[in-house]
Structure 1
Amino acid sequence: MSYAPNIVNLGILTGAQMAQEQYDKNNPTPRHPKKTSTTRRLQTLNRKGGAGKSTTTGSVAEELGRMGYRVLVADLDANASLTKAVGLRLGELNHSVYDVLMSPRKLLETRDAIVQLSHLNFDILPGSENLGYAEPALLMARRQHALQERLAEVEDDYDFVIIDTAGHESFMHTLGHVYADEVILPTEADIANWETIETTLASVRKVVEDGLNPKMRVRAIIVTKYQQGTKFGEAMLKKLNAEYGDLLLPVVVMQTVRVREAQAFHQPITAYAPESQPAMAYRKLAEYLERG
């Protein structure tokens, strides 16, 4: 199944650019075919805010896209952090994941809400600050399969679908749990994140044990925002390796000014500074995920 999703360009457009954009919309360039026969379903998860989930999601999605895979990111964060991070303005979007979850297919198809980012190598189902209103309605109706049902409309067009979720526990997490078979767990090397690693892993085990998604498993733990030379950080790395060495990626994402610069320019670090240390760390994660 092929389709021509919305094309979004950042910045001020000249008349010629606007004409070119309209031509491109009317005459979409054929998209490269999928590289995989089965769509990989991932969720970036940590039950604490500020652990680098959105940064990790965007960076890995961009790197997988650069590797030739077709990637879709679904932003299930009520703050729409990733949507804003790639430069989209919520008030200017025609549709979002909120509309997809709350509307029947006959009124809105999932593909009509997907945005193809002209400056990046992945597509996005944008987030919405209205997700907080959708949550009680979906919960009361016991629609934990709502996201799975709507993504089923388009997932055959993608090699990877990655769900980005908020830091606090919510029904949006459940929607992601039902859909995703693999979990990426970004964490900072500090004591506050140590407890959330344990609770996040416990929540994944419960999803499996309760039969909500028997296929779900943690694929990788990656340390983000790492500050080299701190004794506490080094001690935490040793503790993480001792406890979760089979899941811990053997690279860390350093906290550098380049990451902040990338955010200011609405790009993942893998697009803004592909040869920087953080970008290379995320490249290792993408390569690890590619191996399945």
Structure 2
Amino acid sequence: MTSLSMRGVRGGVGTTSLIAALGYALESLGERVLLIDMSPENLLSLHFNLQDCGKSGWARAMLDGQDWYKQAWGLTPTLHILPYGRLSTQESMSIEQQLIHDSQMWVRRQASLAANYDWLLFDVPQRLPGHGTIGPCLLPIQVAEADAACHVLLLQQAGSNPVLVNRFDPGSQLQRDLLLIWRQYYATRLLPLTVHADEAMREAFAFKQPVGQYAPESLAAQDALSLATWCLARRREMA
């Protein structure tokens, strides 16, 4: 089993839509996938039209003394999702403290899931470090847009995690220039592909579907499929 996480370099870079698209693409390639929402915003399930699961989720279950894994939903026989649940800010901070206190919690949970899935995909919030303590992770990807804010934040953040450029517009001179700079300075970190700006991604969320289901021939869906293929190749290289 392989774990992958996505975290935005800043808020609003499309991380949740992207991980929903990746999960759908991996499943279409024959992989068994569990999507796990680590964000108190609890938006990942909306990409799969699960409006009724707002109150359920692993974090909600922890507070209510219920089984965390029984909160998972089967979207297809090989694509499942584990929502976060609807919590108040105070309740989310209580979960944060529990995760900080027990940093091995998701290590144990990953071990218990290993026999059932090929991939665990974690949607990790930008802040809340406890929520980002998810145990072993082969591909901890940072998601960025080619804009000035992400450029500054990447310079400020020391790290070696892979960086994926989302919503890339090749018609933008600024974005092309920044991508050239990033390829020079982050050559060992930058993924060899980008996810292009595509209105189909926004429309897919409005229709509560991953982009590969909503518009399989769209550029964003093809980019997500390319990303899934890269993930499979990277797993083989790092095995």
Alignment counterpart, residue 259 of structure 1, candidates 201, 210, 216: 201
For these two proteins, the number of residue pairs brought into alignment is: 232
Between the aligned partners of 2:203 and 2:124, the Cα distance in structure 1 is: 23
* Identity fraction in percent: 22
User: Once the 2 structures are TM-superposed, how far is the Cα of residue 146 of structure 1 from its aligned partner?
Assistant: 2.0
User: Which has the greater radius of gyration?
Assistant: 1
Between the aligned partners of 2:185 and 2:68, the Cα distance in structure 1 is: 44
Between the aligned partners of 2:106 and 2:38, the Cα distance in structure 1 is: 10
Match of residue 123 from structure 2: 164
Q: 1:100 to 1:243 in 2, by over 3 A?
A: farther
TM-score (norm 2): 0.86
User: Once the 2 structures are TM-superposed, how far is the Cα of residue 284 of structure 1 from its aligned partner?
Assistant: 1.4
Show the 5 A alignment for 1:53-202: 53-89=15-51, 92=53, 95-102=56-63, 107-108=66-67, 110=69, 112-118=70-76, 122-130=79-87, 132=89, 133-136=91-94, 138-139=96-97, 142-173=101-132, 175-176=133-134, 178-199=135-156, 202=158
Between the aligned partners of 2:16 and 2:67, the Cα distance in structure 1 is: 26
Between the aligned partners of 2:214 and 2:48, the Cα distance in structure 1 is: 12
Alignment counterpart, residue 288 of structure 1, candidates 221, 230, 233: 230
Q: 1:93 to 1:260 in 2, by over 3 A?
A: closer
Q: Give the aligned residue type for 1:223.
A: V
Between the aligned partners of 1:260 and 1:163, the Cα distance in structure 2 is: 21
**Mapped contact 2:42–2:83 kept (Cα < 8 A):** yes
Between the aligned partners of 1:77 and 1:100, the Cα distance in structure 2 is: 15
Q: Give the aligned residue type for 1:224.
A: N
Alignment counterpart, residue 268 of structure 1, candidates 205, 210, 233: 210
Between the aligned partners of 1:191 and 1:160, the Cα distance in structure 2 is: 33
Q: 1:134 to 1:230 in 2, by over 3 A?
A: closer
**Mapped contact 2:9–2:144 kept (Cα < 8 A):** no
**Mapped contact 2:56–2:84 kept (Cα < 8 A):** no
Q: Give the aligned residue type for 2:45.
A: T
Between the aligned partners of 1:225 and 1:64, the Cα distance in structure 2 is: 20
Instruction: After superposition, give the CA deviation of every residue in 1:159-197 in whole Å (9 maximum; x if it has no partner).
Output: 000110123344212x23x34232122210001012333
User: Once the 2 structures are TM-superposed, how far is the Cα of residue 131 of structure 1 from its aligned partner?
Assistant: 7.1
Name stretches of at least 5 consecutive residues in structure 1 with no aligned partner: 1-38, 206-216
User: Once the 2 structures are TM-superposed, how far is the Cα of residue 251 of structure 1 from its aligned partner?
Assistant: 2.8
**Mapped contact 2:54–2:85 kept (Cα < 8 A):** no
Instruction: After superposition, give the CA deviation of every residue in 1:104-136 in whole Å (9 maximum; x if it has no partner).
Output: 6xx5251x1110114x96210012231741433
User: Once the 2 structures are TM-superposed, how far is the Cα of residue 60 of structure 1 from its aligned partner?
Assistant: 0.8
Name stretches of at least 5 consecutive residues in structure 2 with no aligned partner: none
Q: 1:130 to 1:155 in 2, by over 3 A?
A: farther
Instruction: After superposition, give the CA deviation of every residue in 1:216-256 in whole Å (9 maximum; x if it has no partner).
Output: x73x4221112232211111110111112233233322222
